[in-house]
Amino acid sequence: MCSIVEDDFGDDGGVHAMKEDTPQPQLVENELCRKCNVEEAVLKLDHKEPQCRMCFLSYVRHKFRASLGSSKIVRRGSRVLIILTGTPENVALLDMVRFGLEQDAFKQLRIEPVLLFVDDDFLSKTPPERQEKLANLQDILRQFSFPTHYTVSGSTKVVEWPSDGAFTPPETFSLEEDRLREIINGTRSVTSKQDLLEQVRKQTYQAVARTLQCNYVFLSDIGIDLAKTLLSHVALGRGCSIAQDVAFCDDRNGTVKLIRPIRDLNPDEITQYLKLAEKQHNTLDRVDHFADRPSLQNLTAKFIDNLQESFPSTVSTIYRTGDKLDALKPTHNSRAEVSTEGDILGLFQKKKPAIPRGGGDPEQCVFCGAVLDYRGSKTLYATEYSRLVSSRVNASCSHEDILVKSKQMELDAARMVNGEDEDELSQLKKNLCHGCRNILVDQEQ
């Protein structure tokens, strides 16, 4: 049992126990690679031996292939939907897939890749800026020659992206763009806007994957991205789904699985991989429509970025904590899946609950798919009770009034947690997890 007590840290807490990572020694001139002992080393990453170009590329590609091989989740010959963003991590993933497909029969990566670009730049970019980004993505696509499709966030429709010629967003998506813009603008806090957009993107991935008959979706999240996701989702009240949000495979939706095959890579490895790869690729900056505004996600991201600079080894510890968490599993899939003709945005626009399979109380959130664990939650009860006290009790209330109101507030708080009111909005909350409820509450205000 640990013998360290709080008094051992003094007023500064445990800061003195965290030692900032010291810079690693630089390469010695003409130093040989420690793996092959033949070629001259070209780089030395933190806590790694000096490596030559080919040994480093083999090391990174082995991480990617080993993650797929050890899990044995992706079957041979499967159609895989790879989400296209153009970021360095995304381009590195595409290059690893291309390299795997070009290997001989024994080492060949046996999947059928299909690319999908999910466009939500209409939320913050002008039409000329959107067109410029699509042109830059077109240059990236020409380097890989994978079949590519286009859609917008919140839509279940998809169109093919031609490999030659300029591509312009079709007018058929204007309705979905207007609907998503209206819902985002109707959400009060930036935190809820970012959370809603993230969940809508995941719903879009899965809906389009079903349309294109893909059972797997490859995401280009790396370790630092998952560390940000883990901490921010704790703050957002999505603790019941954290294990799946950072796992190698998110299988909460059954038929379509979200796979993160490069989650074990770090930013330095991605940068060096693109620098040393056989082909030099163009990349795009990561787009966040709300990066310049205060939110829980932005605050968490800034904290993790600073941590990566000073204590990089700590970042992997954060996201690997998610591997130690158990993901709750429903006894049966009670979630109403979005069909190819379904309506992703209708839940928050119409404010009507989806009907779970088999009737009765659902086991999964009808929006994000997380297992519902709110019933009887003391934490949520305390939160709702505190909210009621703030709204109903003031300085003018007498002691007797407070006692009477407290009894009623206890009952009301329990009903609000369990969604036991008769109105349609309460019935909708009954089918949502705590994180998605918070989005709905932000739209009510």
The label of the residue with tokens 């630089």 reads 26
Quote the pLDDT of residue 112.
94
- For the chain, the structural domain boundaries read 26-69, 73-324, 354-444
Q: Is the pTM of this model over 0.75?
A: yes
User: Is pLDDT at 19 greater than 60 in this prediction?
Assistant: no
89 C-beta neighbours (distance < 10 Å), count: 23
- pLDDT, one tens digit per residue, over 412-424 is 788 777 776 666 6
Choices 3.40.50.300, 3.40.50.2300, 3.40.50.620, 3.50.50.60: CATH for 73-324: 3.40.50.620
Q: Residue 368: left (phi > 0), alpha (psi -120 to 50), or beta?
A: alpha
Q: d(Cα 81, Cα 205) in Å, to the nearest integer? A: 8
pLDDT band with cut points at 50, 70 and 90 for residue 204 = very high
pLDDT of residue 444: 65
Q: What is the pLDDT of residue 136?
A: 92
AA letter at 370: A
Tens of pLDDT, residue by residue over 390-410, are 877 776 777 777 777 787 888
How far apart are alpha carbons 345 and 325 in whole angstroms?
A: 30
